[in-house]
Structure 1
């Protein structure tokens, strides 16, 4: 087994930025947004093992909370007017961390690459790193899905997060191909000594929350994971469990609440504007003729 060379300092993060960089959120600004008076514009409670999508104007706040106790949620986000621009979990993981919290931003995919939302509140921010190396609000894993379930168990089950998200976005003209890797809110995960992914029971309590500031107009979709709080987990339907089982997955399932707010005083957003896409020229270094007058010859 390879051993680390303790004579050298540990490697530095691959992506670092100076103060003022778009990677580093203006904490004073987002603190003022988080503390500002707000007016509710939408609110609903998402039942267990279901999904729902909703629209959020730029400059609004979204709160996802646990009204009845711990429950994991799988979150997707798209630009409201251009669903090709969507949340990019892998790049967010590289730019920030494997697990995100207050002041971290969720980034959109190429060729857009800009903040899609910024986290401005997290009641579990102090969870830190537990004894197993687990952290909260996971970007390491992705949504559970019926294809892996079928592969591992031979069973068909239609209420995994992937399926819940598909049903949620169909009314908005999207399809299965638009559903993408997620932010697992309230979920604790990590990598063990062998580098294998593990999950722990959610530490959320009744009333815990995470809040997002919409950096652009977005469509968000959320699934209440069929694994509930993940205190009991196993691939399969996970409904009633076998007789004598200590706890079934269904018993671990609880609703999630979603609230959307606009700021009462719009002046709080003075100076803020929707982030721009990087001004890369495109073409990727290629000089491709587009017709006869541009040098194309038969």
Structure 2
């Protein structure tokens, strides 16, 4: 659990991971991959923000350093730090392969949050850090092997108090990944650990001195037209 204005950093040993983020005091507020993708891009990097869901609609964290920001777009159209896809899960694995593997990213995230009073239903769409993905010429999702080397990192500023869960992908660097195509025994050979480091500013007023302030929830009234039962156009005519 990380306090606002803390910095945290994920360092890779050439393996990607799946990250979930919640407001530490209200788990209903959590990372919204789709809106983040709309506001920034399908793959995020330095100075992009990770936004929360409705009705809160505010940044949870900001990327301040990305050692892979040089990667850009590769020859296949792939980019790094993916918002297009989501976590691997045992349900689709069973549908596609008939297997009963219990250590997909979804399951790993589920186990991680249980001690904090959350459960499987709180696990949500992820940011796939260090993961290279894209869409082919027919619009089909693809994944490429992770380009990161030991010591590559991505660093975030916590914009509010956060609870985070990270799963090292059991597909490893994705060089052997494929639903139902490779056994778990083969994929695990290229699965490597991720390291997390958390930093506290020596002067916690530093950001405020430079104009930073905690993000507020969206100012929308939340009425949703419920006081206009005939609809917007009918109300104007009246």
TM range (shorter): over 0.9
Secondary structure in 2 matching 1:125: coil
- 1:1-298 → structure 2 map (5 Å cutoff): 55-66=1-12, 69-236=13-180, 238-240=183-185, 248-270=186-208, 271-287=211-227
Under a length normalisation based on structure 1, what TM-score does the superposition of the two structures give? Answer: 0.74
Q: CA deviation at 1:288?
A: 8.6
- For the 8 Å contact 1:226–1:238, the answer to whether it is kept is no
Q: CA deviation at 1:238?
A: 3.2
Under a length normalisation based on structure 2, what TM-score does the superposition of the two structures give? Answer: 0.92
Which consecutive unaligned segments of at least 5 residues does structure 2 have? 230-238
Q: CA deviation at 1:202?
A: 0.2
Superposed CA deviations along residues 21-67 of structure 1, whole A, max 9, x for unmatched, are xxxxxxxxxxxxxxxxxxxxxxxxxxxxxxxxxx000000010011x
- Aligned-CA RMSD value: 1.3
Q: Partners in 1 of 2:201 and 2:116 — Cα distance?
A: 26
Secondary structure in 1 matching 2:128: strand
Q: Partners in 2 of 1:131 and 1:153 — Cα distance?
A: 30
Q: CA deviation at 1:273?
A: 1.6
Secondary structure in 2 matching 1:127: coil
Q: Tell me the residue number matched to 2:235.
A: none
Q: Partners in 2 of 1:136 and 1:238 — Cα distance?
A: 25
Secondary structure in 2 matching 1:283: coil
